[in-house]
């Protein structure tokens, strides 16, 4: 709460922005607060600002989408709301990703200025569990193992991830899995390439004013307009794979790790992002498959994640595939899942990206075009 009281609240008060604060008391509290709001309460606010980590942001995100899935007046009111993330957690990947910084004051300024940009969300379906949505990453194998071990070391603070990561690296476990994915069409998310993007034509970096991402909700007189609720995101992720079986690719084998990434996914462990060329709202996700490899090779992969991010063809034992949906079935009982810092059970997981599903208080990362 110190970040809010000393850094962010004065910014809101100076800008004349009215807020109503709710302090969460347990896991799931934030989601319940959102889901139980009346139509009148929803209509009185412009959005929700989360002061916390990625897990708390995920609760609010899933709460809003739960309301939108109901249909009716409450859903229509919830569809216009924006989300903000003031970083106050251990990783804060979402704030890093949409703002390019982990500074709470910068995130607060984006809110009071009324900035808005659409972001893709990935629907994740696990048998026997309600669907969940993610704005960053779902990973199995090494990353899931790190999360599982770090949860037992919360006393160590943020350094618990380094300790758990070192231990998982030494263990050097591999995981058998079957992966199915639907490759993205060449044109998916590519229209509108130009202003706001940088780097090579094939792998442009997403930035403020990115024309690819602006198309997620359309543009009128240079301003984004709120899109209508799209029915596909309310359906099970696996349906897309079943609907286009001839296009589905299947990969089997042993892996060090598997990741479904729906944004650049920046953090203090990967400042440029796991995938620096990924967009915030192009309707695509990236499947990263790290094949069985030796310690030195995996160290090269981890160093690349930390220093520059990963690109297709960068490492011979790492496949990076642009896709629309994927299904990962771990073969064994020891593979763990990590979804934006939250654990999922060891079961087959289906993921599908939905373009520009929500809007956030942000203008995207501002960097110089080249």
| C-alpha distances in Å from residue 44, one per residue of 20, 81, 356 | 11, 10, 23
Q: Does 106 reside within a domain? A: yes
Q: Does 51 reside within a domain? A: yes
Q: How many domains does the chain have?
A: 2
Q: What is the CATH number of the domain that holds 137?
A: 2.60.200.40
Mark whether 34 and 160 lie in a shared domain.
no
Mark whether 27 and 154 lie in a shared domain.
no
Whether the pLDDT of residue 186 is over 70: the answer is: no
Domain range enclosing 83? 2-115
* Reported confidence tier of residue 219, pLDDT bands at 50, 70, 90: very low
Q: Which phi and psi angles does 36 have, rounded to 5°? A: -100, 5
Select from 56, 87, 115 the last residue of a domain.
Answer: 115
Whether the pLDDT of residue 224 is over 70: the answer is: no
Q: Which residue has the higher pLDDT, 212 or 216?
A: 212
Under DSSP, the state recorded for 270 is: B
Q: pTM for this one?
A: 0.88
Task: Classify the phi-psi angles of 364: left when phi > 0, otherwise alpha if psi is within -120 to 50, otherwise beta.
Answer: left
Under DSSP, the state recorded for 333 is: S
> Which residues are CB-neighbours of 282 under 8 A, at least 6 positions away?
120, 188, 189, 190, 206, 212, 213, 216, 355
Asked if 54 is an active-site residue, the reply is: yes
Q: From CA 81, how far away is CA 47, in angstroms rounded?
A: 5
Mark whether 108 and 137 lie in a shared domain.
no
pLDDT tens sequence across 29-56: 999 999 999 999 999 999 999 999 999 9
Mark whether 284 and 156 lie in a shared domain.
yes
Q: Does 308 reside within a domain? A: yes
Mark whether 137 and 179 lie in a shared domain.
yes
Q: Does 366 reside within a domain? A: no
Mark whether 144 and 239 lie in a shared domain.
yes
Mark whether 143 and 103 lie in a shared domain.
no
Cβ atoms < 10 Å from Cβ of 100: 21
| DSSP string covering 129-150 | S--EEESSEEEEEHHHHHHHHH
Mark whether 27 and 53 lie in a shared domain.
yes
Annotated catalytic residue, options 54, 92, 120, 340: 54
Select from 89, 115, 141 the last residue of a domain.
Answer: 115
pLDDT tens sequence across 240-290: 999 989 999 999 999 999 999 999 999 888 989 999 999 999 999 999 999
Mark whether 83 and 163 lie in a shared domain.
no
Mark whether 109 and 149 lie in a shared domain.
no
Q: Which phi and psi angles does 80 have, rounded to 5°? A: -90, -5
| C-alpha distances in Å from residue 117, one per residue of 65, 158, 215, 217, 360 | 17, 29, 10, 9, 6
Mark whether 345 and 246 lie in a shared domain.
yes
Q: From CA 302, how far away is CA 14, in angstroms rounded?
A: 43
Give the distance, in angstroms, between the CA of residue 216 and the centroid of all CA atoms in the same chain. Answer: 16
Mark whether 168 and 250 lie in a shared domain.
yes
Q: Does 211 reside within a domain? A: no
């Amino acid at each position: 709460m110190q970040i809010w009281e000393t850094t962010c609240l004065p910014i809101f008060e100076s800008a004349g922005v009215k807020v109503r604060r709710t302090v969460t008391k347990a896991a799931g509290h934030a989601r319940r607060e959102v889901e139980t709001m009346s139509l009148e309460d929803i209509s009185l606010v412009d959005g929700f600002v989360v002061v916390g980590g990625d897990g708390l942001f995920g609760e609010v995100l899933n709460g809003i989408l739960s309301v939108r899935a109901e249909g009716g007046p409450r859903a229509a009111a919830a569809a216009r709301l924006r989300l903000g993330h003031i970083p106050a957690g251990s990783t804060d990947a979402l704030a890093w990703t949409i703002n390019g910084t982990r500074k709470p004051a910068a995130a607060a300024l984006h809110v009071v200025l009324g900035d808005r940009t659409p972001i893709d969300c990935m629907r994740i379906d696990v048998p026997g569990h309600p669907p969940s949505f993610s704005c960053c990453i779902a990973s199995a194998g090494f990353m899931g193992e790190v999360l599982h071990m770090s949860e037992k070391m919360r006393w160590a603070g943020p350094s618990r991830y380094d300790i758990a990561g070192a231990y998982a690296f030494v263990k050097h476990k591999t995981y058998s899995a079957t992966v199915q994915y639907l490759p993205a069409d060449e044109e998916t998310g590519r229209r509108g390439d130009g202003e706001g993007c940088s780097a090579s034509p094939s792998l442009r970096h997403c930035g403020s004013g990115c024309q690819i991402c602006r198309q997620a909700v359309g543009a009128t007189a240079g301003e984004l307009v709120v899109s209508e609720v799209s029915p596909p995101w309310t359906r099970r992720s696996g349906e897309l794979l079943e609907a286009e079986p001839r296009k589905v690719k299947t990969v089997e084998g042993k892996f060090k790790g598997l990741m479904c990434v729906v944004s650049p996914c920046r953090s203090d462990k990967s400042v440029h992002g796991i995938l620096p060329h990924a967009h915030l709202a192009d309707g695509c996700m990236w499947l990263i498959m790290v094949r069985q490899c030796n310690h030195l090779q995996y160290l090269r992969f981890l160093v690349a994640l930390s220093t520059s991010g990963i690109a297709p063809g960068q490492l011979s034992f790492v496949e990076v595939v642009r896709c629309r949906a994927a299904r990962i079935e771990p073969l064994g009982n020891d593979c763990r899942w990590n979804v934006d810092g939250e654990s999922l059970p060891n079961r087959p997981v289906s993921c599908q990206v939905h373009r520009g599903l929500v809007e956030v208080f942000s203008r995207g990362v501002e960097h110089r075009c080249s």
